[in-house]
Amino acid sequence: MSDKCIFCRIAHGTAEASIVYEDSTVIAFLDIQQFHPGHALVVPKAHVPDIFDLDDETGAALMSTLRRVSRAVDSAFSPDGINIWQSSRAAAGQDVFHLHFHVLPRHTGDYWHYSPVRRSPSKAELTEQAAAIRGAMAST
C-alpha cells in the first residue's frame, strides 16, 4: 500500500468512497468526477501502478469483477452502451498511478472523450447510485 495513493487509501478503508463491490482482491467504487451517473472504477486492492505490473491472478479477479460491475451498471442505469477503458502511463492519460478500469454508461449522442465537462455529484447522489449498482449486482 502507498499512503500517497488515493486508491490504496480507499482500498484499505482510510479514505471515503461510494463502494459498489469489494472482495479480498478487488474493489469497485463510483468516480467522484463523473461523465455520467453510474461511472464506476474497478481497482485491484494491491498497489499495481499500471497494466504492465499486473499479475495473472489479480488480473483474473479484476476482469471477473469488471464484468459483474459492468452488467450491474447496465441494469441499474439502462444506458444505450458502456465504455470500459484503462490508461497506462502519463502519455496515455493515466492520472492516478494505480491500475483502474472505468465503467462508463453511454447514451446515444453524448460526448465524453477527454471532455473537460465532468460533474461532481453530491454525496447523496453517489450513495443513491452505489445502492442501485449493489442492488443490480445482488439480483444477477
Burial of 46 (0-12, 13-18, 19+ CB in 10 A): middle
The CATH H-level (homologous superfamily) assignment of domain 6-138 is HIT-like (3.30.428.10)
pLDDT for residue 69: 98
**Residue 117 pLDDT exceeds 80:** no
What confidence tens digit (pLDDT) does each residue in 70-80 have? 999 999 999 99
pLDDT for residue 74: 98
State mean pLDDT over 86-107.
Answer: 94
Active site residues: 100
> What would the grid cell of residue 94 be?
493515466
**Residue 111 pLDDT exceeds 80:** no
From residue 62, alpha-carbon distances to 17, 70, 84, 98 in Å are 18, 12, 13, 13
Residue 33 and residue 118 in contact, taking contact as beta carbons nearer than 8 Å: yes
pLDDT for residue 109: 85
What confidence tens digit (pLDDT) does each residue in 41-71 have? 999 999 999 999 999 999 999 999 999 999 9
Q: How many Å separate Cα 61 from the centre of its chain?
A: 14
Please state, in angstroms and rounded to a whole number, the distance separating the CA atoms of residues 92 and 88.
Answer: 6
pLDDT for residue 46: 96
Strand, helix or coil for residue 127: helix
Amino acid letter at 88?
Answer: S
Paired with 105 in beta bridges are 82
Model pTM score: 0.92
Per-domain residue ranges for the chain?
Answer: 6-138
